[in-house]
C-alpha cells in the first residue's frame, strides 16, 4: 500500500519500526554473511525494478532521490511520471535530486549524513519488501588489495538470479573483472582519510568529510563507471553497486568516529533536514542530528577500520584565501584529458597573505600543501589525473596524489540548486595534497603537472580554476 498524508518526523517513525528492536549488522561482501545478504539484495533489486516508476519504493524513484538522470530534467520527469497532482508527486518534488553535497551552493558538511540516510532508507524498504528484518546492506571493502575488482555477482548479465545487478555502463576493465585501480600507482584506494583530525577543513587540510568525499569516494565512482554510470552524479545511483560503495563510505565514517573523530555540534548542522520515502511511500523528515551516530539507528558493521586515535577534535572554520601562500595561479587552466598539462605558479599578489619560505625548513614548521580548486568539466572526463609537483624548474617531479572531476560537471547539478537552507553557506571545495616530501628547493615558482591516467573522454573540457601552495 502506498500512503499519503502529512510528513512524519524520523524519531516518531523510527519508534514504530518492529525491525528496529534488534541491531542489524552490515557485513563485508566477501564474507559468507555478506554473500547471503547480497543474494537477498539481488532479489530485492529485481522486485523494486519491476515496480511502476511512480512508486516511491521503486528503483527509478530511489535512483532519482540522488539525482534525476542526466539527459532529462527534474521538472520534465515530474510531469511525465505524475501528470496530475498527488501526494506521490509532491514526495518526488521534495526528495528527488537532493543528493549532498554536489553542485554549486551546496554545503559539503552534509555529504556524510545525507548518504547515511539514503542507504538507511532503501535498506529499510528492502527489509519490508522481502519481509526479512535480518537483511542489512553489505559493503564493498575495496581498500583491501584482494577486493579491488568489482565483485563477481555484479558481472553476470545472463544470470537469472544476479543479472539484475549488472550494468553495461561501466569501465571495460571493471566489468572484465580487473582491479578498478589498474594502472593507478600508487593506489588511491586507501584509508588515509582516517588520518584527518577534523570533520571540516582545517588549516589547508580537507577534513574527514571532504577528504573522503573527494578522494576515496570520488575515485571509486570514476574508476567503476563511465559518464552514464557510476562515474556521473546523475547516473550513479542506477548502478546496484552504488549502495555497496556507500555502505562502505558510511562504515569509514563510523570508523573515524570510533577512533575519536568528532562530528560538528552546531545547531545548524544538527537541525538540517531532508525528505525520504519509507517502505509504505510515506514522507519521512530525516534530521542530521538523528543520523550522526550508528548506535541509535540500530545497525553496526562487522568490522571497523583501525586508525590513529584522535586526541583533540578541531572544529575551526577557515577560508583558503586567508592562509599564508607560497605560490599561486588563479585563472582557468584547460586540462587535457589525453595528455599532461603543466601549470607554473608564481609569487602571490600583494593582497594575498604570504608564507616565509625560509621558515618552511625549520623544525616544527607547518607542512606546505598543494591546493587545487574550482574544477569544472563539460562532461565527465572518466579518468583520474595524476598530480605532480616540481619544487623548481630543475627539480624532479614528485607524485603527490590524484584528483577526479566526479563533482565538477555543472550540468549534472542543475536540479540541486534549490537545496540551500537559511543559514547555509556554500563550502570551499578543494583537493589538498601534503607536499612536505617535495619541498627541498621549493621556490615561489613551482610547477604542477596534471596527467590523465588512461585516455579521457573527448569533449570533456576539464578546467582547473585555482592552484596554490599554502603553509597549512
Backbone torsions φ then ψ of 365, nearest 5 degrees: -70, 145
The dihedral formed by the CA atoms of 334, 340, 346 and 348, expressed in degrees to the nearest 10: 60
What proportions of the chain, in percent to the nearest 5, are helix, strand and coil? 35, 20, 45
* The three grid cell numbers given for residue 455, joined into one nine-digit string: 585516455
Q: Which residues pair with 330 in a beta bridge?
A: 466
| Cβ atoms of 136 and 25 closer than 8 Å | yes
Q: Which residues pair with 185 in a beta bridge?
A: none
Residues 6 or more apart from 225 whose CB is under 8 A from it? 167, 169, 170, 171, 174, 231, 232, 235, 236, 239
What burial letters (b/e) apply to 332-354, b meaning 16+ CB within 10 Å?
ebebbbeeebebebeebeeebeb
Which of helix, strand or coil describes residue 339?
coil
* The three grid cell numbers given for residue 42, joined into one nine-digit string: 539481488
In which region does residue 313 sit, left (phi positive, over 0), alpha (psi from -120 to 50) or beta (all else)?
beta
CA atoms of 136 and 221, how far apart (whole Å): 22
* The three grid cell numbers given for residue 297, joined into one nine-digit string: 539507528
| Cβ atoms of 464 and 372 closer than 8 Å | yes
Of residues 222, 284, 274, 258, the one with CA closest to residue 12: 284
Q: What is the pLDDT along the chain (472 residues), one digit of tens a residue?
A: 466 668 999 999 999 999 989 999 999 999 999 999 999 999 999 999 999 999 999 999 999 999 999 999 999 999 999 999 999 999 999 999 999 998 666 899 999 999 999 999 999 999 999 999 999 999 999 999 999 999 999 999 999 999 999 999 999 999 999 999 999 999 999 999 999 999 999 888 999 999 999 999 999 999 999 999 999 999 999 999 999 999 999 999 999 999 999 999 999 999 999 999 999 999 999 999 999 999 999 999 999 999 888 877 766 666 777 888 999 999 999 999 999 999 999 998 776 777 767 666 555 567 899 999 999 999 999 999 999 999 988 899 999 999 999 999 977 766 654 454 444 555 579 999 999 877 777 888 999 999 999 999 999 999 999 999 998 7
| C-alpha distances out from residue 332 to 140, 226, 371, 413, 461, Å | 37, 25, 15, 20, 11
| Cβ atoms of 140 and 247 closer than 8 Å | yes
Query: What pLDDT score does 3 carry?
Result: 60
Query: What pLDDT score does 83 carry?
Result: 98
The dihedral formed by the CA atoms of 68, 73, 75 and 76, expressed in degrees to the nearest 10: -110
Run of H or E residues at 90: helix 87-95
Which of helix, strand or coil describes residue 104?
coil
Instruction: Report angle CA 42, 174, 380 to the nearest 5 degrees.
Output: 105
Whole-prediction pTM value? 0.95
Structure confidence by residue, pLDDT tens digits, 372-411: 999 999 999 999 999 999 998 889 999 999 999 999 997 7
Helices then strands, each counted (H, E), the chain:
11, 13
| Cβ atoms of 415 and 65 closer than 8 Å | no
| C-alpha distances out from residue 379 to 200, 232, 407, Å | 28, 9, 11
| C-alpha distances out from residue 451 to 109, 133, 341, Å | 30, 48, 7
Walk me through the domains of the chain, giving residue ranges and CATH numbers.
8-301 (1.10.1280.10), 320-471 (2.60.120)
CA atoms of 108 and 156, how far apart (whole Å): 36
Give all strands of the β-sheet with 283-287 in edge-to-edge order.
8-9, 283-287, 273-277
Amino acid at each position: 500500500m502506498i500512503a499519503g498524508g502529512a510528513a512524519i518526523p524520523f524519531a516518531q517513525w523510527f519508534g514504530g519500526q518492529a525491525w528496529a528492536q534488534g541491531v542489524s549488522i552490515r557485513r563485508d561482501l566477501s564474507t559468507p554473511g555478506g554473500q547471503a545478504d547480497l543474494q537477498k539484495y539481488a532479489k530485492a533489486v529485481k522486485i523494486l525494478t519491476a515496480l511502476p516508476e511512480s512508486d516511491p519504493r521503486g528503483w527509478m524513484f530511489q535512483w532519482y532521490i540522488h539525482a534525476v538522470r542526466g539527459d532529462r530534467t527534474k521538472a520534465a520527469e515530474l510531469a511525465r511520471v505524475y501528470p496530475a497532482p498527488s501526494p506521490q508527486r509532491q514526495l518526488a518534488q521534495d526528495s528527488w535530486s537532493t543528493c549532498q553535497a554536489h553542485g554549486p551552493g551546496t554545503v559539503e558538511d552534509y555529504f556524510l549524513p545525507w548518504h547515511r540516510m539514503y542507504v538507511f532508507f532503501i535498506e529499510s524498504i528492502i527489509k519490508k519488501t522481502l519481509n526479512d528484518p535480518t537483511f542489512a546492506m553489505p559493503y564493498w571493502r575495496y581498500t583491501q588489495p584482494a577486493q579491488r575488482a568489482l565483485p563477481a555477482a555484479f558481472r553476470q548479465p545472463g544470470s537469472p538470479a544476479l543479472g539484475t545487478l549488472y550494468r553495461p555502463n561501466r569501465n571495460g576493465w571493471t566489468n572484465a573483472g580487473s582491479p578498478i585501480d589498474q594502472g593507478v600507482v600508487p593506489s588511491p584506494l586507501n584509508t588515509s582519510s582516517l588520518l584527518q583530525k577534523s570533520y571540516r577543513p582545517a588549516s589547508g587540510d580537507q577534513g574527514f568529510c571532504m577528504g573522503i568525499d573527494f578522494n576515496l569516494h570520488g575515485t571509486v565512482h570514476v574508476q567503476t563507471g563511465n559518464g552514464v554510470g557510476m562515474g556521473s552524479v546523475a547516473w550513479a545511483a542506477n548502478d546496484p553497486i552504488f549502495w555497496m560503495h556507500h555502505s562502505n563510505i558510511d562504515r569509514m565514517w563510523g570508523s573515524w568516529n570510533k577512533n575519536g573523530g568528532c562530528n560538528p555540534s552546531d545547531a545548524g548542522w544538527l537541525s538540517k533536514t531532508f525528505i525520504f520515502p519509507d517502505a509504505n511511500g510515506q514522507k519521512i523528515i530525516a534530521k542530521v542530528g538523528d543520523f550522526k551516530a550508528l548506535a541509535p539507528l540500530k545497525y553496526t558493521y562487522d568490522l571497523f577500520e583501525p586508525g590513529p586515535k584522535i586526541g583533540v577534535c578541531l572544529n575551526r572554520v577557515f577560508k583558503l584565501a586567508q592562509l599564508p601562500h607560497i605560490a599561486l595561479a588563479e585563472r582557468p587552466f584547460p586540462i587535457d584529458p589525453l595528455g599532461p598539462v603543466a601549470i607554473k605558479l608564481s609569487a602571490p599578489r600583494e593582497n594575498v597573505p604570504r608564507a616565509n619560505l625560509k621558515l618552511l625548513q625549520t623544525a616544527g614548521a607547518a607542512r606546505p600543501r598543494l591546493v587545487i580548486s574550482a574544477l569544472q568539466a563539460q562532461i565527465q572526463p572518466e579518468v583520474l589525473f595524476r598530480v605532480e609537483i616540481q619544487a623548481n624548474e630543475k627539480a624532479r617531479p614528485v607524485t603527490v596524489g590524484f584528483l577526479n572531476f566526479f563533482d565538477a560537471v555543472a550540468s549534472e547539478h542543475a536540479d540541486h540548486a534549490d537545496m540551500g537552507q537559511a543559514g547555509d553557506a556554500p563550502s570551499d571545495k578543494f583537493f589538498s595534497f601534503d607536499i612536505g616530501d617535495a619541498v627541498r628547493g621549493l621556490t615561489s615558482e613551482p610547477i604542477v603537472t596534471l596527467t590523465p591516467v588512461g585516455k579521457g573522454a573527448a569533449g570533456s573540457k576539464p578546467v582547473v580554476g585555482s592552484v596554490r601552495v599554502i603553509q597549512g
